[in-house]
Structure 1
Amino acid sequence: MKLVSWNVNGLRACVRKGFLDYFNEVNADIFCVQETKLQEGQINLELDGYYQYWNYAERKGYSGTAVFTKKKPLAVKYGVGDNDTQDEGRIITLEFEDFYLVNVYTPNSKRDLTRLDYRLEWENELYAYLLELEGQKPIIYCGDLNVAHQEIDLKNDKTNHGNSGFTKEERGKMSRLLDSGFIDTLRFFHPDEDDIYTWWSYMKTIRERNVGWRIDYFITSEKLIDSLVDSVAHTKVMGSDHCPIMLEMK
């Protein structure tokens, strides 16, 4: 089984930049996208053989997630619990026979950290939700999680300590999750490999010089460890300021 996740930073723009070429070439069983930045009816994607599930933000041109899957899920849920954050379209959960897939676009705490408190509350709610699901069947949790977990996960770690996406609070929430029976699959296969990033600023030459951050993840329940085959970042694929990531499983 092959799964892909990609923050497309505007799906309509990404389609103009070759999204469908990559989509068809990679031929994933499940393809998750974040930051679709559109409303219902603003795009017509003909993806033969795939079921499509969309969670739109109420605000136009903002946020949004989608999942395209060859196998029809048993159930689909949008958001989390009673406070389902439906207004920003950030979460889709698909239930399959053997696992839950949770596709997420985590809120950014903003450059001045004005949204950090909201972000941490979000993390607590999502953490409780993931543990609840994990009590029923294993989880594959993926998306743009807007945090570089360790120093190895960004180029300029020394100058970014305390900045949005690299605060001790945000990193601590990731550590808590991984200490609760979950695996950062890329680091499982490539524990010490540096210069693996998934997001780069649009500033000139930044991507060419690979001055990036790894903020996109496939995280799975430890129960799935024997099914993991590989986890990689397709860093050469263009079309967004993020690159796609892929998880292969038996």
Structure 2
Amino acid sequence: MKYISWNVNGIRACVKKGFLDYFYAQDADIFAIQETKCQAGQVELDLPGYYQYWNYAEKKGYSGTAVFTKKQPLHVHYGVGDHETEREGRIITLEYEDFYFVNVYTPNAQRDLARLAYRLQWEEELREYLIVLQQKKPVVYCGDLNVAHTALDLKNAKSNEGNSGCTVEERDKMSQLLAAGFIDTFRHKYPQATDRYSWWSYMNKVRERNIGWRIDYFIVSASLQAHIKEAEMHDMVLGSDHCPIYLIVEREKSI
């Protein structure tokens, strides 16, 4: 199975920059996007052969997630745990016969860390949610997780220590998730890789010089480890300040 995740930083703008060409060329089984920045009825995507599931933020032009899938899931859930909705449109869970697919746009702690406490509580609730799902069947968890987990995951690690996405607290939450039986698929395949990023500032020539951060992830249950065939970035694909990332998993049973 082929999975793709992409923070499009506004799907309407991304469509004008080649989103559909990339989408059709990839022919993914499941394609997840984050930061859609739209409301119901503001964009219509013609995606033959795909079911579409959208989670819109209440605030216009903000946040939002969507998943496009070739096979209709058994169930779709928006939010975490018993919450059927959440105001910022950040989570969609698709349940299939033999796994869960969870698409997430993690809240940013903000430049002055004003939202760090909220972010850490979010991480606690999400980890518990994923653990509960994993007790039932394997989990494929993806999205813009807004954290560079280790110094290998951003260009200027030392000077960014303590900044949003690079705080000890945020990194520790990622470590706790992985310790709970999950795998960072890119690091599993490329444990010492450097200069591999998924996000670059729009500042002048930052992307050209590859001064970036790896903050987009595919994280899977450890039970899927032997089935991970590839986990990489399409870092030459433009259209957003993030690039798409992809995961290929071979399973004994497919959806």
TM-score (structure 1 length as normaliser): 0.99
Q: Which residue of 2 aligns with 1:23?
A: 23
Q: Secondary structure at the match of 2:180?
A: coil
Q: Note the 1:42-57 alignment, pairs <5 A.
A: 42-57=42-57
**Which residue pairs with 1:127 in the alignment?**
127
CA deviations 1:149-203 (Å, max 9, x no partner) are 0000000000000000000000000000111110000000011110000000000
Q: Counterpart of 1:237?
A: 237
The answer for the alignment partner of 1:58 in structure 2 is 58
Q: What's the counterpart of residue 201 of structure 1?
A: 201
Contact 2:206–2:212 (Cα < 8 Å) also in 1? yes
CA distance in 2, matches of 1:109, 1:84: 24
Q: Summarize the Cα distance change of 1:83–1:120 in structure 2 as closer, same or farther, 3 Å threshold.
A: farther
In the alignment, structure 1 residue 212 sits paired with structure 2 residue 215: no
Q: Secondary structure at the match of 2:62?
A: coil
TM-superposed CA distance for 1:116, in Å, is: 0.1
Query: Would you say the 8 A contact 2:234–2:244 is kept in 1?
Result: yes
Query: Is 1:166 aligned to residue 157 of structure 2?
Result: no
8 Å CA contact 2:77–2:84 kept in 1: the answer is: no
**Which SS does the other structure have where 1:41 is aligned?**
coil
Q: Secondary structure at the match of 2:54?
A: strand
**Segments ≥4 residues shifted beyond 3 Å:** 82-85
Pairing 1:114–2:144 present: no
Aligned position for 1:73 = 73
Alpha-carbon distance in structure 2 between the residues aligned to 1:228 and 1:183 = 10
1:50 partner letter: Y
How far has the Cα of 1:82 moved from its partner?
A: 3.7
**In structure 2, how many angstroms separate the alpha carbons of the residues matched to 1:22 and 1:81?**
33
| Superposition deviation, residue 84 in structure 1 | 5.4
Distance in structure 1 (CA, Å) of the matches to 2:248 and 2:194? 21
> Which position in structure 2 is the counterpart of 1:41?
41
> Once superposed, what is the RMSD of the aligned Cα atoms?
0.7
2:99·2:137 contact (CA, 8 Å) conserved in 1?
Answer: yes
Q: Number of residue pairs matched?
A: 250
The answer to whether the Cα contact below 8 Å between 2:6 and 2:34 also exists between their aligned partners in 1 is yes
Query: SS of 2:183's equivalent?
Result: strand
TM-score (norm 2): 0.97
Indicate the percent of aligned positions where both proteins have the same amino acid: 66
Residue 97 (structure 1) aligns with = 97
Aligned counterpart, 2:139: 139
Q: Which amino acid is the alignment partner of residue 212 of structure 1?
A: G
Deviation at 1:86, TM superposition (A): 1.5
Output the CA distance in 2 between the equivalents of 1:131 and 1:193: 28
The alpha carbon displacement at 1:85 in A equals 5.8
String of CA shifts for 1:185-239, please: whole Å, max 9, x gaps: 0000011110000000000100000000000000000001121100000000000
Q: Which runs of 5+ in 1 are unaligned?
A: none
- Aligned partners of 1:145, 1:131: CA distance in 2, in Å? 17
SS at match of 1:80: coil
Tell me the CA shift for residue 98 of structure 1: 1.1
Distance 1:84 1:172 in 2: 28
SS in 2 for 1:86: coil
**Structure 1 residue 244: deviation in Å?**
0.1
How far apart, in 1, do the equivalents of 2:220 and 2:238 lie? Answer: 26
Q: Residue by residue, what CA displacement relative to the aligned partner does 1:125-160 show, whole Å, maximum 9, x if unpaired? A: 001100000000000000000000000000000000
Distance in 2 (CA, whole Å) between partners of 1:102 and 1:196 is: 23
Residue deviations 1:66-91 (CA, integer Å, cap 9, x gap): 00000110100000124456110000
